[in-house]
Amino acid sequence: MVRGTNKGGWMTTRAIVWFRRDLRLNDNPAWASASEMADRVTALYVLDPTLLRAAGEFRRTQLIAHLHGLDDSLRQYGGRLMVRHGKAEVIVPEVAATCGATLVSANADVTPYARHRDSAIKDLLGPGFQRWWGNLVHPPGAVLTAKGRTSRVFTPFAAKWNRLPLPTWPENAPVAVDNDTGEGLPTLESGPFQEGGEEAAADRLLAFSRRADHYGETREFPALDSTSVLSADLRFGTLAPRTLVATIGTTTGGRAAFVRQLVWRDWYAHLLWELPSLANSSIRTELDRIRWENDAADIAAWKEGRTGYPFIDAGMRQLARTGWMHNRVRMAVASFLVKDLLVDWRVGEKWFRRLLVDADIAQNAGNWQWVAGTGPDAVPYFRVFNPVLQSEKFDPDGVYIRAFVPELAGIRAPWIHKPWTAPVWELAAGGVTLGTTYPHPIIDHRFARSRTVNAYAEATRVTND
Ligand SMILES: Cc1cc2nc3c(=O)[nH]c(=O)nc-3n(C[C@H](O)[C@H](O)[C@H](O)COP(=O)(O)OP(=O)(O)OC[C@H]3O[C@@H](n4cnc5c(N)ncnc54)[C@H](O)[C@@H]3O)c2cc1C
């Protein structure tokens, strides 16, 4: 591949911007650097059948909506998005050869699949394949301990992260964009979770920034809808995390609490970079000796939201219905699966990965390992969330439960959190017959807690022997 000079030079430079998880033109270093370097750009998206198969319906629909949005953004430059189907290892070099591109610019990703794919392409294209880190605030390797690795404890990582200035990268320059749409955009067959495209994402950020001051005290309550719901925008890259930090800032406690969540996001990404097996193996390897129950009927009840614990069922039904779930509820349902039902965390990780519109291997596996107590800086295994206390604390009036478990709509707090303790007249007045209209709890929490603590203790003991 011939390397071109930049715009001031004598050679016309053609570049490909290969969009992956950065479906935006604003604050996108891969796009900005290509627009600065090249006279003409091909904006390419490769629909990889392996990735499409892995994505559930929510993520596929949201992806298509964002591709349409990206195409709209590119029309402002007089061009279109080229969509090609197949393996990137074949298509990217082929498009580069056809259009005579001397530069392929992309944003790097931390997943093992993406790294493997990108290293194959690097082998083929050499220095003409340039990567940026526009989808994290700080790239892997920027926040290391004195021993040169990513801290396994979050607080020192966050302290170091906070001291770093925001990264800088090139600004967008005017550039011509090709009109070839390749195999064309897939049609949108159902409504996406959120309106597609970076403009809609920017509106969501703006709307959140007006209420960000209250994030700290309201974020734990799923019924309040007080979090940003920007996770899918970060997942698809319709927003850059750098933009979020710059827009929200840390001037109030609520804003600082929000930015801290983005530190968690970077942390899990850095950990996956360093530990590519994060999604498959427990970081605390001795805990891979746990003798899981993995009961098929329990797993089905959890997935379908009929465990008999209303807060858990509300969360699982929200996930199945919308493709998204509030963080507090994600923690509660994950803990219920692993620690009440004694099911291997990987079963839950896979289910989430399929259904979540924001599914992201680093965030998903990192959080599952955190909840399961198998990961870095995780909840100690003997700390088992009580699904009823979680419900009473974070959904005190049962508003969230009623939104997703309508058969309990007529039951008042406090009984809505544990309908099996409700007086018969409360159940009758609410039209609930336990075991018929709503299930009995599938497990007794106190029994489950001690079973789990024993199973974890035994796994740890085996290693110590
Ligand atoms: C078991 C489990 C699985 C999860 N799987 C995913 C996943 O696949 N993809 C994903 O993006 N998040 C995941 N999370 C993290 C978190 O639940 C979501 O990011 C959050 O609920 C998204 O809502 P929001 O955008 O309104 O968050 P906000 O509260 O507004 O936070 C802003 C952003 O910070 C980041 N963030 C917030 N909480 C976390 C966290 N605990 N870990 C890492 N980053 C965080 C997200 O990018 C989020 O969009 C998971 C959490 C748990 C407990």
Q: Which residue has the tokens 């710059």?
A: 246
Please identify, by atom number, the ligand 1 atom nearest to the C-alpha of residue 360: 8
Q: Which of 135, 278, 327, 356 best tests ligand 1's pocket when mutated (most atoms within 8 Å of CB)?
A: 327
Across 171-191, average pLDDT: 95
The pLDDT of residue 170 is above 90: yes
- Name residue 141's amino acid: G
Residue whose Cα lies nearest atom 22 of ligand 1: it is 231
Residue whose Cα lies nearest atom 24 of ligand 1: it is 229
Identify which of 276, 232, 282, 231 has the alpha carbon closest to the alpha carbon of residue 258. 231
Please identify, by atom number, the ligand 1 atom nearest to the C-alpha of residue 356: 8
Q: Which of 367, 368, 377, 394 best tests ligand 1's pocket when mutated (most atoms within 8 Å of CB)?
A: 367
Distance 4 CA to ligand 1 centre (A): 41
pLDDT at 3: 40
Q: How far apart are CA 406 and CA 400, in angstroms?
A: 10
Judged by DSSP in three states, 44 sits in strand
Element (H, E) at 45: strand 40-47
Across 424-435, average pLDDT: 97
295: number of Cβ within 10 Å: 15
Give 108-124 pLDDT, tens digit per residue.
999 999 999 999 999 99
The pLDDT of residue 12 is above 60: no
Distance 281 CA to ligand 1 centre (A): 21
pLDDT at 120: 97
φ/ψ (deg, to 5) at 217: -90, -10
Residue whose Cα lies nearest atom 3 of ligand 1: it is 364
Please count the residues of the chain.
Answer: 465
Across 160-169, average pLDDT: 96
Q: What angle do CA 454, 460, 462 make, to 5 degrees?
A: 100
Distance 172 CA to ligand 1 centre (A): 29
Please identify, by atom number, the ligand 1 atom nearest to the C-alpha of residue 325: 21
Q: Which sequence spans correspond to the domains of the chain?
A: 2-134, 136-167+198-274, 285-464
Give 282-331 pLDDT, tens digit per residue.
999 999 999 999 999 999 999 999 999 999 999 999 999 999 999 999 99
Give 328-367 pLDDT, tens digit per residue.
999 999 999 999 999 999 999 999 999 999 999 999 999 9
Question: Are the C-beta atoms of 117 and 88 separated by less than 8 Å?
Answer: yes
Give 61-97 pLDDT, tens digit per residue.
999 999 999 999 999 999 999 999 999 999 999 999 9
pLDDT at 2: 37
Q: Which of 218, 243, 265, 325 best tests ligand 1's pocket when mutated (most atoms within 8 Å of CB)?
A: 265
285-464: CATH superfamily: DNA Cyclobutane Dipyrimidine Photolyase, subunit A, domain 3 (1.10.579.10)
Residue whose Cα lies nearest atom 21 of ligand 1: it is 327
Give 123-154 pLDDT, tens digit per residue.
999 999 999 999 999 999 999 999 999 999 99
The pLDDT of residue 462 is above 90: no
Give 248-280 pLDDT, tens digit per residue.
999 999 999 999 999 999 999 999 999 999 999
Q: Does domain 2-134 have CATH number 3.40.50.620?
A: yes
Across 222-238, average pLDDT: 97
**Which of the four pLDDT bands, split at 50, 70 and 90, describes residue 1?**
very low
Instruction: Produce one character per residue of 74-111: b if its CB has 16 or more CB atoms within 10 Å, e if not.
Output: beebebbbbbbeeebbebbbebbeebebbbbbbbbbbb
Please identify, by atom number, the ligand 1 atom nearest to the C-alpha of residue 358: 9
Distance 236 CA to ligand 1 centre (A): 14
- Name residue 349's amino acid: E
Which residues, judged by CB distance below 6 Å to any ligand atom, belong to the binding site of ligand 1? 219, 227-231, 234-235, 261-262, 264-265, 268, 326-327, 330-331, 334, 352, 356, 358-360, 363-364, 367-368, 371
Residue whose Cα lies nearest atom 51 of ligand 1: it is 367
Distance 327 CA to ligand 1 centre (A): 6
Distance 355 CA to ligand 1 centre (A): 14
Q: Where are the alpha helices (DSSP H) in 86-240?
A: 88-99, 112-125, 154-163, 198-211, 215-218, 231-236
Q: Give 55's contacts (C-beta < 8 A, 6+ positions apart).
A: 63, 354, 359
Q: Which of 234, 235, 358 best tests ligand 1's pocket when mutated (most atoms within 8 Å of CB)?
A: 358
DSSP string, 144-165: --TTSS--SSHHHHHHHHHHSP
Q: What angle do CA 389, 442, 296 make, to 5 degrees?
A: 125
Question: Are the C-beta atoms of 45 and 31 separated by less than 8 Å?
Answer: no
Give 367-418 pLDDT, tens digit per residue.
999 999 999 887 787 889 999 999 999 999 999 999 999 999 999 999 999 9
Average pLDDT of every residue of the chain: 95
**If you compute the radius of gyration of the chain from its CA atoms, what whole number of angstroms results?**
24
Q: Which of 363, 364, 374, 390 best tests ligand 1's pocket when mutated (most atoms within 8 Å of CB)?
A: 363
pLDDT at 9: 52
Q: Which of 59, 213, 231 best tests ligand 1's pocket when mutated (most atoms within 8 Å of CB)?
A: 231
Cis omega (within 30 of 0) on the bond before 414? yes
The pTM of this model reads 0.96
Among 5-19, 238-252, 333-347, which stretch is predicted with the lowest mean pLDDT? 5-19
Q: How far apart are CA 60 and CA 52, in angstroms?
A: 7
Q: Does domain 136-167+198-274 have CATH number 3.40.50.300?
A: no
Distance 35 CA to ligand 1 centre (A): 32
- Name residue 356's amino acid: L
